Structure 1
Amino acid sequence: MEAFVNNLLEFFFILVGLLLGYVALKVATDKTHPAKFGTALFWLLLGITFALGNFIPSEITGAILLIVGVLTLTKQVKIGNVQEVTEEEAQASSKKLGSLVFVPVGVLAVVAVGIAQLTPLGGQAGIGIGAVVSLIVAMIITRSSPKQALEDGNRMVQQVGPVGFLPQLLAALGVIFTEAGVGDVIANGISSFVPQGNPLIGVIAYSAGMVIFTMIMGNAFAAFTVITAGIGIPFVISQGGDPAVAGALAMTVGFCGTLMTPMAANFNALPVALLEMKNDNGVIKEQIPMALIMIVFHVILMYFWAF
């Protein structure tokens, strides 16, 4: 079963790689593209890492990522000539579909959770299968052809741009930080001014550390292992705090940091790109007040529930 699941996941990665390869082809054949070579190379290299990541040496993958980073840094990745949807077409589709537009999203969630809970395939395979099933449902509801779905995929990928893959890079960075012992460095630094034996101060430091590090990393999962090892265990759990309660609340308070940082590209940058908002930080500005309120409540709940 494990081999089957791994092969299934590999299939989904190859599908993503093929989509990115198609984007690279569309860019390469776009005669009016402002940065055709750099953009096509960017999507082609990313497609190679997705489709062939398990078949090429890690050194080559690392070199590819360095090239991808240089292309992004030098602003060589730009949107080209994509199939735009006019305001009239969008309004007409909205009136025609109504609430049915939410069905594919619900199907994805139900299929993914169902597979994760009721089968031995696991959550990752569930998300992949749910995505494929929801795409088929969306095509049926909208009466779209596979070619139209592919073109919409190309448009979405180009509109979102490099920020769409920032969460993956940040998650990898979290693993690197953990292996490098960043958690121990943080623990030593915190111990110099946070007193031992004070649960409230420990809870505040744990919560604040999760928020700040999540804002830096853009990912609460990446921050969790580092901050829990550096602050949570020595200053909260070792003081008698319930590890299940403290850990769960630490994770969710980290999500408060996600609401306040542009590094959380999938939450804050993608909506800006997809909705074509004028203010790059418009989503973050709306979320900050609620995030600050939730941080306070998390500190209170962790202090009273974990101890």
Structure 2
Amino acid sequence: MFEIYLTKNGIPLYGNLLELEPDQLFHEKHSNKLAHPADILSDKLSNLNGRLKTMVHHQHDEPISGNKTSSISDYILEINSFYDSLFLIIKCLTKPDGTDNQDVKIWLKSIKAQSYTDFVSSTNKNHNLFRNISNKVKHGHVGISTLTVHNHKNIMVHGFYIRSITGENDQRGPDPEIHMPYKGCKTAFSYNHFILHSVGCIFYYLHHLNKILFKTKSKNDHKEESALNIVATCEHIAHAFFPDEYSRPYAFVKRQDDGRILFKYPYRYNGNKELFQNIHRVNAYLAFNQRTGSSNGIMPYLPLINRKN
């Protein structure tokens, strides 16, 4: 677990990038020139903040709302784009070797850049989920469906799942490569957990990249507004999840009396005596197939209702 206290000055990586000396920067010396690494980071954080706010804004829309589902896919795609941009930052600090490649990962791997190797080994596993969803959204025949679950405390929790063909007769349900089974039923993502988990991963990436690229911390004030806004959004998200998510990692965010924000990741819910599987109700929108004139869908968590535990 990494634990940091965020101040009004934002994230250490941004300050360190701003204070790089000219002889440490190679962003304009590559044949494929790049923006200043601090600008790359700031721009991508701004995009993430915008996508996150839009998704939160639309989470209570009607199930068939196009804005609701598109805001989910836009946020997921932006997470993947953000992760890829961090390799551009590594390239900005890596001296050209006379060869270049528009695919920054291929180039960094070909020159055996240690910072690339260290960053991938530290973060690749955490990013697999978002990369897989992003690839399916961009290249696979999948959709996004929404649902609500009244959890074990009878609190209504909003969520979504990546929908794909799961059986014969056009059966559709949670994609089995994305959503792992829980107590014999299909699962989904709650907005609450997905946001806290994804933001936890985002700051986990930033933490490791800063640790790999820099040995000291900037002593000057360099405020990065978008990063602080992302964390501020997480402050107001309840730890009310879908049953299987209580055992999974997410970010713990809490503002302290002195104004600093405590940020922990990966954090896990502490509720050993709670019966998370004892849900009360599930409501999900099942897509109608005009060709067959019917809906053949699997509803996540439905088998848990009225099950004796």
| TM-score between the two structures when normalised by the length of structure 2 | 0.25
Task: Point out which structure has higher relative CO (alpha carbons under 8 A, 6+ apart).
Answer: 2
Greater helix fraction, Structure 1 or Structure 2:
1
Greater strand fraction, Structure 1 or Structure 2:
2
